[in-house]
C-alpha cells in the first residue's frame, strides 16, 4: 500500500512538470506569429466577473446620491419654498432708473443760457442745450452724460459737470433720479410697470451775469487780439455793493455744446491741441504780472502808514540813481516811463509815475519807503496773494514777491532794494488774477468792503471783510483814479454820459521785454459807484499803443445805447 501511494505521488508530480515545462520551439517562437490582439479593446485578456463587493459598493453610492437629492428637494420645496417662490417672482421684476433733468440756467435778465431737450437717439434722459453766443463757455462749462455698457445697463448714472457752473454748482442743478419696477413675462416682454420713486429735477438757477455784456466784451477782445497780435484776454465786472459778477469773460474759449455732445471728435481734438489754451479760464485762473494797476493800493498803504502826505510832490526827471556801494562810479538806474516833473499823489496815480512809487515804496534819499513787509501786508488786505472766498470756481491765489519767495526761487539770493522798487510798480514776481484785480478795485470804490464774489442772483446780504483804511485815504486814491481818466493814462475811458475812475497798467514780460500785458481797471459811476471792472489783453507787442482801454471804451459806448441802466444811479 505504501508503494502504491508513492507511485500516485510521483505520477502527480510528473503531470505538474509536464504542464509547467516549456518546449524549445516555444522559446524561439518568431514574434511575427504572436496573436494580433488589440489590448486597448481588452482583446487577449481574460474576462472575470464583477465581484459582489464592487456591486454592493456602487449600490450604496447610488443610494446616498438619491437620498441627498430627496433631502435637497424637500429643503427647496417644503422648508424654503415660500422664500424661493418670492425670489423667483423678483426674477420677473426689473428695477429701472427714471432720469430727472438738470436745472435750467438763465442770466440776470431772464435769457436762457442752458436748458434740456429731448433727443430721439437717447430717450432715457434729456440732453443739454446751450445758448449759441460767444463769451459763455467758461461760465457755463460742460458736462458728461450717463454711460451704459453694450448690454444697455447704466454703470454711470449721474450727469457729471466738468467745469463752470455745471461742475461747481452741480449739487444745486443735479436731478434726483427716480425708480420704477418693470414686470416681464417668460419671453422678456414688459407686462406692467410701477413707479416706486418719482424723479426730481434739479433746481433752476438765475446767474448774476448779463449775457449781453459777455458777448460784447468777448467780441471786442477777439477783434483787438486779431488786429493787434494779443494772445488772449479776460474781463470781469463786479457789483461793488453785492459782489455779484455781471460779467466774467475769457478769450479764447471752448465750445460747451460740442464738448457735451461729444460727437465732433475732430473738433474736440483741435480744441485740446489749440496753443491758445481755450480751456484756461483767464479771468479766474490766469496769473498775470499786474504792472501799474497796483499803484492805487501802494498809495493807500503809504497814506495809512504816514509815509507821505497826499499833497507832497516828488520830482520825476525820468529816473532815479541809487548809489552802488561796490562801485560808486556805476550807480543803479531805475527808469520812469517818462519824465513827469513834480507830482503829488493824485497826479502820480493819474500819470502813473514810476519814480514817485519807487520812492514811497522803497525809499530814496530823504523820502522814507514802506518796505516790502508793509507792501505785502496791504496787498493781502485787498485779497492779493490769496484765493477768493466761496466756490473753487473763483480760482488762484497769485504771488506777492517777498524775501522768502526770492530765497526759494533764486537759490537763496538776498532781497535787494531794487526788488522792492519793482514790486512797488507791479513787476518782478508779482502775479494776480483778473478777478482779484476787480475785487480789490471794488473795495476802493465802496470804501473798504472786500466782497465775496457771487455768480448767482441772491436775496441774502453781501458777504465781505473790512479793509481797515480811512475814508480820507480812499477819497484821495479815488480822486487820483478819476484824474487818470480825465487827464491821465486812462483817458480812453473819458466818455459823455458817465464818469469813470480808472487806472491803466502795462506789464513787461520776459527778459527781452518784447511782449506786454495791457491792463485797465476802474469803477463807475464815479459819484455813487455801482460797478468795478478789470480788463487784460495778454501778451501783445510792446510797441502797440492800443490795448485794454480800447476794450473798455467799446464796452461803455455799447452800454450807453443798449444797457443804460448800468451807467446811471437810478
**One domain, residues 280 and 152:** no
Evaluate whether residue 485 is within a structural domain.
yes
Of 79-83, 221-225, 442-446, 496-500, the least confident = 79-83
**One domain, residues 131 and 247:** no
Between 484 and 34, whose confidence is greater? 484
Contact 470, 304 (CB under 8 A): yes
Evaluate whether residue 56 is within a structural domain.
no
Overall average pLDDT of the 264-290 stretch: 95
**One domain, residues 215 and 337:** yes
Residue 455 is predicted with a pLDDT of 97
The DSSP code for 386 is S
Residue 424 is predicted with a pLDDT of 97
Grid coordinates 449781453 are at which residue?
A: 212
Number of domains present in the structure of the chain: 2
Handedness of CA 221, 223, 226, 227 (dihedral sign): negative
Q: How confident is the model at residue 569 (pLDDT cuts 50, 70, 90)?
A: confident
> What length does the chain have?
570
Of 25-39, 337-351, 438-452, the least confident = 25-39
**One domain, residues 307 and 451:** yes
- pLDDT at residue 154 is higher than 90: no
Report d(CA 220, CA 229) in Å as an integer: 14
The DSSP code for 242 is T
Between 324 and 85, whose confidence is greater? 324
Report d(CA 210, CA 229) in Å as an integer: 28
Considering only CA atoms, give the Rg of the chain: 44
Residue 11 is predicted with a pLDDT of 62
Q: How confident is the model at residue 223 (pLDDT cuts 50, 70, 90)?
A: very high
Report d(CA 45, CA 22) in Å as an integer: 21
Report d(CA 535, CA 56) in Å as an integer: 100
The DSSP code for 388 is P
Residue 4 is predicted with a pLDDT of 56
Evaluate whether residue 27 is within a structural domain.
no
| Cβ within 8 Å of residue 535, ≥6 positions away | 217, 221, 233, 234, 235, 236, 434, 519, 520, 521, 548, 551, 552
Report d(CA 305, CA 279) in Å as an integer: 42
Q: How confident is the model at residue 195 (pLDDT cuts 50, 70, 90)?
A: confident
CATH number of the domain that 127 lies in? 3.90.1310.10
Report d(CA 208, CA 382) in Å as an integer: 23
**One domain, residues 218 and 187:** no
**One domain, residues 127 and 159:** yes
**One domain, residues 197 and 231:** no
Q: Report how far apart, in Å, the C-alpha atoms of 77 and of each of 88, 175, 415 are.
A: 13, 45, 88
Strand pairing report for 341-343 and 314-316: antiparallel
Of 75-89, 115-129, 226-240, the least confident = 75-89
Per-range mean pLDDT, top range of 329-333, 540-544, 550-554:
550-554
Q: Residue 349 has which C-alpha cell?
A: 496815480
Q: Which domain holds residue 179?
A: 94-206
Q: Residue 555 has which C-alpha cell?
A: 464796452
Helix (H) or strand (E) holding 536: strand 531-541
- Residue whose C-alpha is closest to residue 235's, from 225, 226, 51: 225
Q: Report the share of the chain in percent with pLDDT over 90.
A: 70
Grid coordinates 475811458 are at which residue?
A: 493
Evaluate whether residue 479 is within a structural domain.
yes
**One domain, residues 454 and 312:** yes
Could you give the residue ranges of the DSSP H alpha helices within 280-369?
295-304, 345-351, 354-362
Q: Which domain-ending residue is among 156, 177, 206?
A: 206
What would the 3-class secondary structure string for 61-72 be? HHHHHHHHHHHH
Q: How confident is the model at residue 89 (pLDDT cuts 50, 70, 90)?
A: low
Between 40 and 123, whose confidence is greater? 123
Amino acid at each position: 500500500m505504501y508503494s502504491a501511494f508513492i507511485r500516485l505521488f510521483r505520477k502527480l508530480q510528473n503531470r505538474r512538470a509536464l504542464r509547467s515545462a516549456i518546449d524549445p520551439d516555444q522559446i524561439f517562437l518568431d514574434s511575427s506569429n504572436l496573436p494580433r490582439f488589440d489590448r486597448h479593446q481588452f482583446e487577449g485578456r481574460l474576462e472575470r466577473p464583477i465581484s459582489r463587493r464592487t456591486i454592493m459598493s456602487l449600490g450604496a453610492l447610488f443610494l446616498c446620491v438619491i437620498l441627498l437629492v430627496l433631502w435637497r428637494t424637500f429643503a427647496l420645496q417644503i422648508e424654503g419654498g415660500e422664500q424661493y417662490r418670492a425670489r423667483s417672482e423678483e426674477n420677473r421684476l426689473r428695477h429701472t432708473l427714471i432720469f430727472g433733468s438738470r436745472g435750467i440756467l438763465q442770466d440776470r435778465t431772464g435769457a436762457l443760457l442752458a436748458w434740456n431737450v429731448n433727443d430721439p437717439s437717447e430717450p432715457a434722459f434729456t440732453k443739454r442745450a446751450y445758448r449759441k453766443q460767444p463769451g459763455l463757455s467758461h461760465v457755463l462749462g460742460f458736462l458728461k452724460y450717463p454711460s451704459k455698457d453694450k448690454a444697455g445697463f447704466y454703470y454711470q448714472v449721474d450727469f457729471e459737470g466738468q467745469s463752470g457752473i455745471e461742475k461747481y454748482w452741480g449739487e444745486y442743478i443735479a436731478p434726483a433720479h427716480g425708480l420704477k419696477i418693470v414686470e416681464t413675462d417668460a419671453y422678456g416682454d414688459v407686462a406692467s410697470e410701477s413707479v416706486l420713486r418719482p424723479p426730481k429735477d434739479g433746481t433752476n438757477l438765475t446767474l448774476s451775469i448779463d449775457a449781453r455784456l459777455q458777448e460784447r466784451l468777448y467780441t471786442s477782445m477777439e477783434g483787438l487780439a486779431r488786429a493787434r497780435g494779443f494772445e488772449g484776454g479776460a474781463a470781469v465786472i463786479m457789483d461793488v455793493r453785492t459782489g455779484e459778477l455781471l460779467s466774467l469773460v475769457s478769450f479764447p474759449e471752448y465750445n460747451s455744446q460740442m464738448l457735451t455732445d461729444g460727437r465732433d471728435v475732430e473738433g474736440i481734438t483741435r480744441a485740446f491741441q489749440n496753443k491758445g489754451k481755450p480751456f484756461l479760464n483767464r479771468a479766474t485762473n490766469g496769473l498775470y504780472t499786474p504792472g501799474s494797476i497796483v499803484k492805487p493800493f501802494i498809495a493807500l498803504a503809504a497814506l495809512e502808514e504816514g509815509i507821505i502826505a497826499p499833497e507832497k510832490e516828488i520830482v520825476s526827471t525820468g529816473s532815479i540813481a541809487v548809489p552802488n556801494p561796490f562801485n560808486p562810479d556805476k550807480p543803479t538806474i531805475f527808469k520812469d516811463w517818462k519824465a513827469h516833473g513834480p507830482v503829488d499823489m493824485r497826479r502820480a496815480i493819474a500819470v502813473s509815475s514810476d519814480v514817485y512809487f519807487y520812492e514811497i515804496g522803497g525809499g530814496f534819499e530823504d523820502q522814507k519807503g514802506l518796505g516790502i513787509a508793509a507792501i505785502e501786508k496791504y496787498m493781502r488786505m485787498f485779497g492779493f496773494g490769496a484765493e477768493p472766498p466761496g466756490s473753487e470756481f473763483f480760482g488762484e491765489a497769485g504771488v506777492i514777491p517777498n524775501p522768502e519767495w526770492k530765497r526759494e526761487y533764486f537759490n537763496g539770493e538776498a532781497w535787494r532794494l531794487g526788488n522792492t522798487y519793482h514790486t512797488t510798480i507791479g513787476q518782478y514776481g508779482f502775479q494776480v488774477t483778473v478777478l482779484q484785480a476787480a475785487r480789490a478795485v471794488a473795495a476802493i470804490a465802496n470804501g473798504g468792503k472786500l466782497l465775496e464774489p457771487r455768480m448767482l442772483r441772491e436775496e441774502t446780504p453781501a458777504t465781505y471783510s473790512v479793509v481797515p483804511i480811512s475814508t480820507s485815504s480812499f477819497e484821495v486814491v479815488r480822486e487820483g483814479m478819476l484824474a487818470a481818466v480825465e487827464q491821465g493814462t486812462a483817458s480812453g475811458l473819458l466818455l459823455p454820459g458817465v464818469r469813470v475812475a480808472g487806472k491803466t497798467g502795462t506789464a513787461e514780460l520776459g527778459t527781452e521785454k518784447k511782449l506786454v500785458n495791457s491792463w485797465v481797471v476802474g469803477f463807475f459811476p464815479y459819484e455813487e459807484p455801482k460797478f468795478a471792472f478789470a480788463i487784460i489783453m495778454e501778451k501783445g507787442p510792446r510797441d502797440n499803443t492800443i490795448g485794454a482801454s480800447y476794450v473798455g471804451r467799446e464796452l461803455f459806448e455799447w452800454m450807453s445805447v443798449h444797457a443804460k441802466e448800468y451807467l446811471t444811479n437810478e
